[in-house]
Amino acid sequence: MDILHCDLDAFYASVEQRDQPALRGKPVIVGGRPGSRGVVSTCSYEARKYGIYSAMPANQAYRLCPQAIFLPPDIPKYIKASQQVFAILHRYSPVIEPLSIDEAFLDVSGCHSLFGSSTQIAQLIKQDVWEETGLLISVGIAANKFLAKLATNLGKPNGLLELGEEQVREILPLLPVNEIWGIGSKTAQRLKQAGIATASDLLLYPRFKLEAILGSNTDFYIQLCRGQDSRPVLSRSEQKSIGNEITFPQDLDDQKEIEHLLLELSCQVAYRVRHASLIAHTVTIKMRTPDFQTLTRSQTLQQGVDADLTIYKIALNLYHKSGLAGECLRLLGLNCSKLNDRTIEQPALFVDENDTLDQIIDDMKSKFGIDTIKRGSLLNRINRKI
């Protein structure tokens, strides 16, 4: 049981309640304002009692709880709190994989002689975080990442739960499919339509039929439903670069179409950079011509970047200056490298007005799956800004 999952409780709302005692014990909603098209980014546990949850439209939240206190996100303040918490986590293990601004995995397998059992380490972390930041953090302990995250969710708020083999055997079969890591609301709906409501339903379902719903991830989810997850905890320093590329089914020379694909790649890659709590100092595009010549163009920046639009603008500029704009291509790629720890260095984007939006969109992506936000809305947003 060497994997810890740590997750701050109602992070943004808790920071506001910590700093403004008048907000304590009250329903606090951080995110969009009612009357706007914004969504709830985080809400306090008092607000959750009214059925409010992250990513809910602010207007709906207002209807459920008109007396709630709506606050705009104060991202720099949350970054500061996050840095303090990550500094505490680093005391207890060098192997830390951040999942978001308030969430991380720790592999503590090499740390027992220094700090004691996994439960003792979890207690020390909870105590330090509370004493030094005034925030509550939930910790889940298990044999792998999937089960540790599940333990945190089951223990929240202010949780400390270890899921041993026996508990896993009890809890896992009845786990609703929408609580399985990575299964978004759409996939969960399709599973339910097929009569699959729980992990044990999923395991009993014929594999070939399951594949029609879960695609190439079928085996991964089957493993999770068995409580197996072989993914190691990867610390940031092990990630050298994050990128993606597309090979076209036919050579493509439509410049607008290529620019559109560059935008898509930028959004995908930027999301992964942010999700790993990293910022990138180098953006590279890769282009391959029909005669298999491969050309890369890079820009290195003094200040790190991680916002969709910032990375897109850099990539677009590189494309236009490459001499290949409007030429026929068979492959297009985008890569972010010279990655730095976001908890050590603030990205340039915190002065970028798009950043709060990225943060809210990311919250939705991580809660509901990466496809929740349609490309169209991203495109509209970009058309408005550029």
Contact residues for Mg ion, defined by CB under 5 A: 7-8, 11, 102
For the bound state, the minimum distance from the C-beta of residue 137 to Mg ion, rounded and expressed in Å, comes to 8
For the bound state, the minimum distance from the C-beta of residue 100 to Mg ion, rounded and expressed in Å, comes to 8
For the bound state, the minimum distance from the C-beta of residue 136 to Mg ion, rounded and expressed in Å, comes to 10
Nearer to Mg ion, 42 or 340 (CB): 42
Nearer to Mg ion, 159 or 333 (CB): 159
For the bound state, the minimum distance from the C-beta of residue 380 to Mg ion, rounded and expressed in Å, comes to 29
> What does R_g of the chain's alpha carbons equal in angstroms?
22
Instruction: For helices 11-19 and 75-92, give the axis angle rounded to 10 degrees.
Output: 110
Q: Residues 3, 145: contact at Cβ < 8 Å?
A: yes
Torsion of CA 293, 299, 300, 304, to 10 degrees: -120
Catalytic entry in 103, 166, 345, 353: 103
Nearer to Mg ion, 11 or 146 (CB): 11
Nearer to Mg ion, 11 or 319 (CB): 11
For the bound state, the minimum distance from the C-beta of residue 9 to Mg ion, rounded and expressed in Å, comes to 6
Nearer to Mg ion, 46 or 201 (CB): 46
C-alpha distances out from residue 281 to 126, 236, 268, 270, Å? 33, 15, 17, 12
Nearer to Mg ion, 87 or 203 (CB): 87
SS3 label, residue 159: coil
Q: Which residues pair with 42 in a beta bridge?
A: 30
Burial of 214 by CB count in 10 Å (0-12 exposed, 13-18 middle, 19+ buried)? buried
Q: Could you tell me which of 263, 358, 271 has the C-alpha nearest to residue 313?
A: 263
Q: Which residues pair with 96 in a beta bridge?
A: 106
For the bound state, the minimum distance from the C-beta of residue 84 to Mg ion, rounded and expressed in Å, comes to 15
For the bound state, the minimum distance from the C-beta of residue 11 to Mg ion, rounded and expressed in Å, comes to 5
Q: Is the dihedral of CA 9, 15, 16, 17 positive or negative?
A: positive
**Which of 44-74 are b and which e, b meaning 16 or more Cβ less than 10 Å from the residue's Cβ?**
bbbbbebebebbbbbbebbeebeebbbbebe
Q: CB neighbours of 62 closer than 8 A, spacing ≥ 6? A: 34, 35, 68, 70
**Cα(82)–Cα(343) distance, integer angstroms:** 7
Nearer to Mg ion, 8 or 180 (CB): 8
Q: List, in sequence order, the alpha helices (H) in the chain.
A: 11-19, 45-48, 58-64, 75-92, 112-115, 118-133, 145-155, 165-171, 185-193, 199-204, 207-214, 218-225, 255-275, 308-321, 354-368, 375-385
Q: Is 257 a catalytic residue?
A: no
State the catalytic residues. Answer: 103
